[in-house]
A and B are shown apart, each in its own frame.
Chain A
Amino acid sequence: MKTVNSAFKFHGGVHPQYNKDLAASKPIEAMPLPQQLVISMSQHLGAPAKCLVKKGDAVVKGQLIGERNGFISVPVHAPVAGTVAAVEQRMGPAGGWADAVILDVAEDQSAAPAFLPPLDWKSASREDLLARVNDAGICGMGGAGFPSAVKLNPPPDKHCEYLILNGAECEPYLTSDYRTMLERADRIRAGVEIMRKILNGPAVRIAVEANKPDAIKALEKAFADIEGNVEIVVLPVLYPQGSEKHQIYATVKRIVPEGALPIAVGCVVENVGTVAAIADAVEKGIPLTERVTTVSGDGVVEPKNVLAPIGTRYADLVAFCGGEKDGVRKVISGGPMMGFNVPHLEIATTKTTSGLLFFTSAKVFQYTSNACINCGRCVRACPMQLNPAFICSAVESNDIAAAQKMDVMDCIECGACSFGCPAYRDITQNCRRAKASIRAAAAAAKAKAAAAAK
């Protein structure tokens, strides 16, 4: 085990103000159970889970309430004991509506939890471990929510050479991964050993940004006596260092081809929080039902890193952190660069909610878009080496085909272009629009072809 500095810098990137000091020194704090949870069936990327409970059902902690529904899908478990008050459509953090189980939390939480049987990873077979990751409902906790069992089971013709742990946490304000690395480094180590077994012994690279020296020290300590090819890679501080593709470049200097998954270049990238969750799921049998969420920003009384059950309404979460200050103008679920602006606090946390940020008018800038001045700042900032200015203009004139020609589908929506734009143009939003429109057209063409084949 050794610690190395990353030698490879990707093109572009920006340096936002990190403001991590607001919550970085706050240890992870478990919050008291709220009265009600709103557990969405669509917390991950892919098909929503199939709801298995109905109104009036009593559930115990850890009980399966949503079944995996398709290949790219994960099951959902009850975080606490309680009674199902309703199963209805609720809005998720990203604005989409999906079925959600409204759970009235029982006052008496003494009922035995329905956890899965603990497994000894050393003696368990690779298939059993993989099945456990799947049954425990684990998906990427960094933001996208890609099902981990799919990631850890590469197609037979692909071999995973590098397992990369994503501890960059390049989004400003967020400190949940940092606190996890600091306080749960031993769980991360256990997770790494399990994942190494599932993936047939790849080399391990733990990628951490240089602005987290404590976390690096904690990891060095936890991994000191680990065998095999394990390295902690210290990355330069640069947004979007936590992006999967850029992390692969910064750690092992491989470039993921357009439209492909990291396994195409022999890499599997997993968030550090997810790795700890995998360790708990295997060694203790605990499904993924709680996560650390950073509640921060200048609009919250006491910024904290909260360990909350999944499905906690934002209103309950902020109440635990002393409530909102007066004059909150904007609430963001996730980080300020890529997170979702939420319209109200009835929305609940999911497996991917890494942060909840409150900003007052002092921090919120209301802008009016102006014409592009062709300064090229977005081109310099784009980590995917696209030409955001031209793409934006093409989308504004409804020329989606031109945007597609300029590889808008490669855009990772990191927001580096809009961040530096002196004309305040909605570049990222236009790229998103183009991508949505291209995807919708492709889906429509596919549906048409399927109808014609019938």
Chain B
Amino acid sequence: MTAIITAILVIAGIGALAALALAIADKYLAVQEDPRIGLATAALPGANCGGCGFAGCADYARALVEGTAAPGACAPGGDAVNAELAKILGVAATATEKRVALVKCCGTRSEAIRVGDYNGICDCSAAAATAGGDKGCRFGCLGYGACANVCPKHAISITDGLAVVDKRLCIGCGKCVSVCPRKLIELVPASATIHVLCNNPVRGPEVTKVCGVGCIGCHLCEKNAGGKEANHFTFNGFLAKVNYENPPTDATLADKCPRKCIREDAHFETGN
């Protein structure tokens, strides 16, 4: 009987001492963390996509509170999250428009010629480093899926040798933009509906040699969209580009393009 009581007392004594030590440690060894870090982490979507340039949502939240980053970099969260973050940090919210990735190429296997058979690592940069890649057009999508492999939302699929972004799934993190060896993915406003899907700025005859749907810089789209004054298109060499500050909305522009490289938004809906 005494043994049991002794044991209980010893255990209770150790427990009391440990509790005391913990209470003291809590008071004197406490790590001071800004409570806003927790709040900001909770406010972020938790996708950990890395699109803001930080290792994850918690890292971005820490940087926000420490003042080394500004709200507005979270593409998946959009305006709602940015407003929430601004409220937590006590700064004015900046409105950002949701942006999505756009693969500026529509040269599928049937449209764009391939100059060789690539038989190696299934990765765009590896293919591009092997005799410049097997696609005839040196600006076009190689279709080996480097972008699809890094997409945290599986929004990119490779269809007929061409990367296609599903606008509904894309969170605009921009990871695909940085891995593309051809630099043909761009983040564009999600509200824009008309796009030029070509990245080849060289002269028309050279484009037609390698691709059935490459832009030849004929300026017809500009003409059909109200001329130069309307400012819906800009040109880089012999390549038209939608001016996303002032995007055109006329759906017939796509049909009127003689090269069929202007596409309406429907192109995004791949159904995956």
Partner-contacting stretch, out of A76-84, A92-100, A241-249: A92-100
Distance in Å from the Cβ of A14 to the closest Cβ of chain B?
Answer: 20
Q: Are B130 and A95 in contact (CB under 8 A)?
A: yes
| Smallest Cβ-Cβ distance to B136: which chain A residue | A343
Does A341 touch B at the CB level, under 8 Å?
yes
Whether B116 sits at the interface, judged by CB under 8 Å, is yes
Chain A residue contacts of B123, Cβ below 8 A: 433
CB-nearest residue of chain A to B126? A433
Contact A433 B115 (CB under 8 A): no
- Within 8 Å CB of A97, what residues of B? 132, 138
- A367 contacts the other chain (Cβ, under 8 Å)? yes
Chain B residues closer than 8 Å to A429, beta-carbon distance = 120-121, 126, 130
The residue in B115, B125, B129 that gathers the most chain A C-beta atoms within 10 A of its C-beta is B129
Q: How far is the CA of A396 from the CA of B149 in the complex (A)?
A: 12
Chain A residue total in the interface (Cβ 8 A): 21
| Docked complex: A60-111 residues within 8 A CB-CB of B | 91, 94-97
- Residue on B with the closest CB to A436? B129
Q: Could you tell me if B126 and A343 are in contact, using CB atoms closer than 8 angstroms? A: no
What class of interface size applies to chain B in its complex with A? 10 to 19
- Contact of A343 with B116 at beta-carbon distance under 8 Å, contacts A95-B129, A96-B132 already known: yes
Please, which residue of chain A has its CB at the minimum distance from the CB of B138?
A: A97
- Is B25 part of the binding interface, using a Cβ–Cβ cutoff of 8 Å? no
Does B119 belong to the interface (CB within 8 Å)? yes
Interface residue ranges of B120-169 to A (CB < 8 Å): 120-121, 123, 125-126, 128-134, 138
Q: Is A342 an interface residue (CB 8 A)?
A: yes
A95: chain B residues at CB < 8 Å are 128-133
Residue A8 at the chain B interface, CB threshold 8 Å: no
Q: How far is the CA of A433 from the CA of B126 in the complex (A)?
A: 6
Cβ of A342: which chain B residues have Cβ within 8 Å of it?
131
* Contact present for B119 and A343 (CB under 8 Å): no
Note all chain B residues with C-beta closer than 8 A to A433: 121, 123, 125-126, 129
Complex-state Cα separation, A341 to B129, whole angstroms: 11
Bound Cα distance A43, B32 (Å):
61
Contacts of B134 in A (CB 8 A): 343
Name B119's closest neighbour in chain A (CB-CB): A366
Interface residues of A (CB under 8 A from B): 91, 94-97, 340-344, 366-367, 369, 396, 426, 429-430, 432-433, 436-437
List 10 other contacts, CB 8 Å, given A97-B132, A426-B120. A94-B131, A95-B131, A341-B130, A342-B131, A366-B119, A369-B121, A429-B120, A430-B121, A433-B121, A437-B125
